[in-house]
Amino acid sequence: MAFDPAAKEAELLAEANSWDTTQPVPAAPGDIPIVDIGRWRETGSRDALDTAAATLRAACEQVGFFQLVGHGLSEDAIGEIFEWVRKFHALPFEVKQQINIDNPDHHLGGVGYLPIGERRLPRRAVGNRNEAFLVKSDKDIAPDDNQWLPDEILPGFRHAVESYGRTAEAIALELVKVYAVALDLEPEWFDDAMAAPFWRLRMTHYPPDEQVEGAHGIAPHVDTTFFTLLLQDSPGLVIYSAVRDQWIQAPVIPGAFVVNTGELLRQWSNDRFLSTRHFADNNGPVARYSIPLFFNASGDWPMECLPTCHGPGNPPKYPTISYNESQAVVQGE
Same domain, 109 and 65: no
Q: Does 291 lie in the same domain as 165?
A: yes
- Which residue among 12, 39, 72 closes a domain? 72
Residues 287 and 161 in one domain: yes
Which of 45, 72, 99 is the last residue in one of the domains?
Answer: 72
* Residues in CB range of 105: below 8 A, 6 or more apart: none
Please indicate, yes or no, if residue 199 is contained in any of the structural domains.
yes
DSSP helix/strand/coil, 200: strand
Amino acid at 32: I
CATH code, 106:
2.60.120.330
Summarize pLDDT for 136-195 with one digit per residue, the tens. 999 999 999 999 999 999 999 999 999 999 999 999 999 999 999 999 999 999 999 999
- Same domain (yes/no): 59, 140: no
Residue where one domain finishes, among candidates 12, 46, 72? 72
Residue 237: inside a domain:
no
CA distances (Å), origin 127, targets 70, 106, 122, 171, 291: 36, 24, 10, 32, 19
Same domain, 65 and 141: no
Which residues are bridge partners to 293 per DSSP?
201, 229
Cα–Cα distances (Å) from 68 to 203, 244, 316, in that order, read 19, 22, 30
pLDDT in tens, 69-111: 999 999 999 999 999 999 999 999 999 999 999 999 999 999 9
Whether 169 is in a domain gets the answer yes
The residues facing 145 across adjacent strands are: none
- Domain that includes residue 40, residue range: 27-72
Beta strands at 112-114 and 288-296: parallel, antiparallel or unpaired = unpaired
Q: How many domains does the chain have?
A: 2
The answer to whether residue 9 is domain-embedded is no
- Return the beta strands (E) in 215-333 as ranges: 218-221, 227-232, 237-241, 246-249, 257-261, 278-280, 288-296
Task: Give yes or no: residues 53 and 97 share one domain.
Answer: no
Q: What is the pTM of this model?
A: 0.92
Q: Residues 12-36: pLDDT tens digits?
A: 667 766 777 878 999 999 999 999 9
d(CA 182, CA 31): 19
Question: Are 287 and 321 found together in one domain?
Answer: yes
Compute the 3-state secondary structure of the chain and give helix, strand, coil in percent, each to the nearest 5.
30, 20, 45
Total residues belonging to the chain: 333
Neighbours of 191 (CB within 10 A): 13
Q: Are residues 88 and 62 in the same domain?
A: no
> Is the domain of 192 the same as that of 149?
yes
